[in-house]
Structure 1
Amino acid sequence: MMYSELQTKEVVSVGTGERFGYIKDLEIDIKKGQITQLIIWKRSWFQKYDEVLIAWTDIVQLGEDVILVK
């Protein structure tokens, strides 16, 4: 899957149904060549954005439209 495809999927919590938003960046372990975290900018009060980090291991399902996380 390409990075541009990941960016179009909304990240949603399986447990609470909370919508985190969309992926803005990835953290990658260059030595292993693996994605370690998703970086999401979640909209908060007054049009501000908070950075949310989600570990790659917390992903439950990569769906067509959403990414479900723990």
Structure 2
Amino acid sequence: MRFSSLQKKEVIELKKGSFIGFVQDATIDIEKGEIAQLHIGEIERSFFSDSKSKGVQKIQYKDVMTIGKDIILIENKRLNK
């Protein structure tokens, strides 16, 4: 799987069903050749104004439960800001 296929997918926390953000970047473990973390950008949505980025959270790739066509489900053990 290429990283470009993960970009811009919605990330949903599995237990609560809450929207976390969109995949923006990743940390790669060069020695293992694997994705170590996904960087999730939070977007503040408002009906009356433009969307604004609120910050970036990092989740461990091992916390990813499944990757679907449009979304990524994660087991939210802890989010790193």
Q: Do they superpose with TM above 0.5?
A: yes
Please report the RMSD computed on the Cα atoms of aligned residues, expressed in angstroms.
Answer: 1.7
TM-score, normalised via structure 2 length: 0.76
Where does residue 73 of structure 2 map in the other structure?
Answer: 68
- Cα offset, 1:13, TM superposition: 0.4
Select the structure of larger CA radius of gyration: 2
- Cα offset, 1:65, TM superposition: 0.9
Aligned residues: 70
Cα distance, 1:48–1:64 mapped onto 2, change above 3 Å: closer
Give the whole-Å Cα distance in 2 for the aligned partners of 1:7 and 1:47.
18
Measured against aligned partners, the alpha-carbon deviations of 1:33-60 in whole angstroms (never above 9, x if no partner) come to 1111000111248834221111001001
- Cα offset, 1:8, TM superposition: 3.3
Identity of aligned residues (%): 36
Identify, as 1 or 2, the structure richer in helix.
Answer: 1
Measured against aligned partners, the alpha-carbon deviations of 1:3-46 in whole angstroms (never above 9, x if no partner) come to 22101321100011111121110001111111110001112488
Unaligned runs of 5+ in 1: none
Unaligned runs of 5+ in 2: 46-50, 76-81
Identify, as 1 or 2, the structure richer in strand.
Answer: 1
